[in-house]
Amino acid sequence: MRITGITITGFGGVSGEVAIDLDADVVIVVGANGYGKTTICNAISWAISGKSSGAQGPRNLYSKSGTTMVELRTDFNGSDVLITRSLENPDETNPKKLRAPLRVHTTDSAFRGADAEVWLRQHLAGTDTSEDFDALAQSFVDSIYLRQESLREFLTGREDTERFDAVASMVGAGRLREFADELQSHKRAWVRAVNQSDSALEGDREKLEDLSTSLSIIEAEISRANFAEATVRWQIWRDAVAALGIAETEDFTDWELSERNLSRLRGVLNQERSAIEQHEASMLSTQAELRVPLPNTPDDEALAALSDETTRLTEQKETLDTEVQALRTAVEQADSVLRQAGSLREDLANMATILLRHVADNCAACGQAVNQHEYRARLESLANETDDTALRESADLERTRLEAAEQKSSEVSRRLSTVRDRYRALQEQRASALAAREHRRNRLIEVFASLSESGPSEIVDLAEGVDRLDLELERITARKAQVSQALDSGLQFDAVASLDSSKMRRDRIAAESDDLRESLALKEQDIAARQRTNEVATVLLDAIKSDAENFVSDRLTQLKPLLRQFYAAIDPHPTFRSVEIATRQFGGKHRLTPVLRDEDVQISVTDPGETLSTSQANALAVSLFLSFNLGFAPTHVKSLILDDPLQNLDDVHLLGLVDLLRKILPHRQLIVTTHDHAFASLLARKLRPVSADSRTTYVRFTKWDRSGPGVEQWDVPAETSPMKFVPQ
């Protein structure tokens, strides 16, 4: 991976947005201290690792947009990949709570958060590792980003154990440690599981012990039992039960004494007693029913007398009805005559009234001479006549006779109805008595039929049937007593029969004990095998843990020639001209110490901070950094970021460093910052492009204010004909 550009927004010393083209073999960044050079380096570091060194986090304090974002443009084997990190919660005041998820955009995919971290880890790591991204990313950054203060601190300020851990991570021992941790974790879980399994067997062991105890007790009980005598009694009882002649049961005459057989025989007896009790209940119910008195049967004479009286009254009633009918006709005729007479009288009155208005000596109607006075009196009499008394009295007489006849007819009807009702009641009483008697006979037939296998028997007389029922009840009661007695006698075998159950229980417990013992043995064997596995794993784990030092030591030994090349190129010390890194284990911890050696007189020092000047220590630190990066190649990042490496280097070491950088140029992209314009010019001259396809770019930070830095950028001209002596 090679860095081709960066856009910084609201990050570090950039309040607005700054975009810088980094698509060059050499990027020289120059500017006064505080102008934001280090911001570029930190932005690259933050984009990859998500970690920032500032106490307030990565935010720019003067940012107006509130956005904090770094877009890192990169080239992965010819494919453009954009790595972006931005603050999600820029207002958060606690730097530990800031969230800045990673995003990765390739030409055909986009990833965010954990997925982006996985993508980056896989594409930057040398091996397919699942190490924690934060630690791994920091290791990546440490291997490509040279910060003088942190390197010098690595050499002179850190404990030798911390140095070992840092270098171990860089040389790939992190995967070894990850493997050891994983193995350790599985081992702990394994031990826990084995211990739990072993504890779980305690229950089985206790159960096996309990079963053994139970077996001993049962064996003792069985040995004490007298089966011979009990068997004789059993046979007697069994025969007695057989003699009861219980129908429809299996033949139990050969059943041996056992809890099961005892239970089965009891079942037979109980079933028989239950059947007897059912019959008994039924018969008692019938007996109670038969003891209720039958209703009286009316005699035939009373019924005949009532029949005759009915006939007589019926005839009388018919006669009276005829008489009433005749009288009704006579009344209707008298009324009709009376109505006709009334109508004539009214016509005469009307005519008389009219003639009265014309009374004279002659009749106004016929002209006949009349006595006027008499004529008037006669007319007035006619006009005032209102009733025909004789006709009315005749009609009233006929009506009186009719009413008398009707009253007499009604009385006869009432008497007839009473006689008929009584006759019907006596008839019903007689039918009911006959039915009750028949019902009792049928009931008796039914009861006896249920007791007899030959079907219903003939019942001639009810009293005889009742007597037979009483006898049958006595017989059933006696049989019930026999069965109950047999059941009571069976109780004597309970204790003996339970011993038979003990035998069965003994056999069952013995079988269960054998199974449990076998199962327990297999489980204990498995646990023992798993404990052996844990022992072997312990040996392996110890060897693996110890190997971390061997691995790091081997790797450092392999690195030695390269480290010496780099150290010699800068050549910081006139006598301590040989350098190596030694590892050792002390106090159970791995330790790492840089060793400087004067080989001419065989003197070594293990504390460079006390022997070397600041400039010399810096030169050693740079040598270590470069040798780790090129020697171990801990990441696929082909860029090196050197933040102001000039600090405290004198001229000759500075030239040595620049010469070294020029030799690294074919292998790494270089991004170098400096506050020293002379050094920047030296870099531009020494690291100039010497062919058309190489590029050195110069980024100058011209100012810094609250709006951010001023940035200028130009390319160092390529030298297309660099050879001056050798003809090209």
Nearest to 692 by CA among 670, 672, 662, 715: 715
Q: Is residue 59 at the binding interface for other proteins, with CB under 8 A as the rule?
A: no
Residue 588 as a binder of other proteins (CB under 8 A): the answer is no
550 near other proteins, rule: CB under 8 A? yes
Tokens at 8, concatenated:
């910084």
Angle at 483 (CA atoms; ends 481, 486), nearest 5 degrees? 110
Residue from 574, 601, 692, 693 in contact with other proteins (CB under 8 A) = 574
Quote the CA–CA distance of 419 and 270 in Å, as a whole number. Answer: 62
Could you say whether residue 522 binds other proteins (CB under 8 A)? no
Least distance (Å) between residue 645 CB and other proteins: 16
Rounded CA gap, 385 and 345, in Å?
7
Binding of residue 722 to other proteins (CB under 8 A):
yes
* Cβ atoms within 10 Å, residue 622: 27
In angstroms, rounded to a whole number, what is the distance separating the alpha carbons of residues 673 and 661? Answer: 13
What strands lie across the sheet with 102-105, from one edge to the other?
17-21, 2-9, 69-76, 79-86, 102-105, 110-112
Which one of 249, 484, 565, 648 is in contact with other proteins (CB under 8 A)? 565
Judged by CB under 8 A, the chain residues 153 through 192 that form the site for other proteins are: 171-173, 175-176, 179, 182-183, 186-187, 189-190
State the nearest-atom distance from the C-beta of 699 to other proteins, in Å: 19
Tell me which residue of 624, 629, 670 sits closest to 126, measured CA to CA.
629
Q: What is the footprint of other proteins within residues 83-142 (CB under 8 A)?
A: 126-127
Q: Which is nearer to other proteins, 441 or 686 (CB)?
A: 686
Name which position in 17, 115, 650, 676 contacts other proteins (CB under 8 A). Answer: 650
Q: Least distance in Å: CB of 126 to other proteins? A: 4
Whichever of 359 and 537 has its CB closer to other proteins, that residue is 537
Say what the alpha-carbon torsion angle 555, 556, 562, 566 is, to the nearest 10 degrees: 150
- The number of residues that bind other proteins (CB under 8 A) is 71
Q: Rounded to an integer, what distance in angstroms lies between the CA atom of residue 354 and that of residue 267?
A: 123
x/- site string to other proteins, residues 389 to 428, per CB under 8 A?
----------------------------------------
Q: How far apart are CA 11 and CA 542, in angstroms?
A: 46
Identified binder of other proteins from the candidate list 195, 558, 702, 707, rule CB under 8 A: 558
Identify which of residues 160 and 178 has a Cβ nearer to other proteins in the complex: 178
Cα dist from 610 to 156, 157, 345, 399, whole Å: 8, 11, 176, 167
What residue ranges in 64-105 does DSSP mark as E strands?
69-76, 79-86, 102-105
Sign of torsion, CA 359 364 369 374?
A: negative
Mark 591-610 with x for binding to other proteins (rule: CB under 8 A) and - for no binding.
---------x----------
Neighbours of 182 (CB within 10 A): 11
Question: At its nearest, how many Å lie between other proteins and the CB of residue 209?
Answer: 30
Q: Which of 133, 551, 576, 701 is the binder for other proteins (CB under 8 A)?
A: 551
Query: Considering Cα of 307, then 312, then 316, then 319, what sign does the dihedral take?
Result: positive
> Which of 631, 645, 708, 709 is in the footprint of other proteins by CB under 8 A?
631
Q: Work out whether 582 is an interface residue with other proteins (CB under 8 A).
A: no
Question: Could you tell me the two tokens for 468?
Answer: 């037979």
Nearer to other proteins, 28 or 476 (CB): 28
Residue 709 CB, shortest distance to other proteins, in Å, is 28
Query: 129 or 489, CB closer to other proteins?
Result: 129
Q: How many whole angstroms separate alpha carbon 197 and alpha carbon 632?
A: 46
| In the complex, least distance from residue 76 CB atom to other proteins, rounded to whole angstroms | 17
| Pairing assessment for the beta strands 26-31 and 639-643 based on DSSP bridges | unpaired
Minimum CB distance to other proteins smaller for 13 or for 172: 172
Among 205, 508, 532, 703, binds other proteins (CB under 8 A): 532
Q: How far is the CB of 50 from other proteins (least distance, A)?
A: 23
Residues across the chain: 728
Q: Which residue, chain included where needed, has tokens 């009661």?
A: 477
> Does residue 555 bind other proteins (CB under 8 A)?
yes
User: Which residues have CB under 8 Å from 522's CB, separation 6+?
Assistant: none
Interaction of residue 536 with other proteins, rule CB under 8 A: yes
Question: Any contact of residue 196 with other proteins (CB under 8 A)?
Answer: no
3 state SS of 577: coil
Fill in the DSSP letter of residue 650.
Answer: -
**Binding characters for other proteins, 652-691, by CB under 8 A (x = yes):** x--xx--xx-xxx-xx-----------------xx-x-xx
Q: Per CB under 8 A, which region of 106-114, 154-162, 278-286, 530-538 contacts other proteins? A: 530-538
Q: Which residue, 263, 170, 210, is CA-closest to 497?
A: 263
Stretch that binds other proteins, among 195-203, 400-408, 536-544, 640-648 (CB under 8 A): 536-544
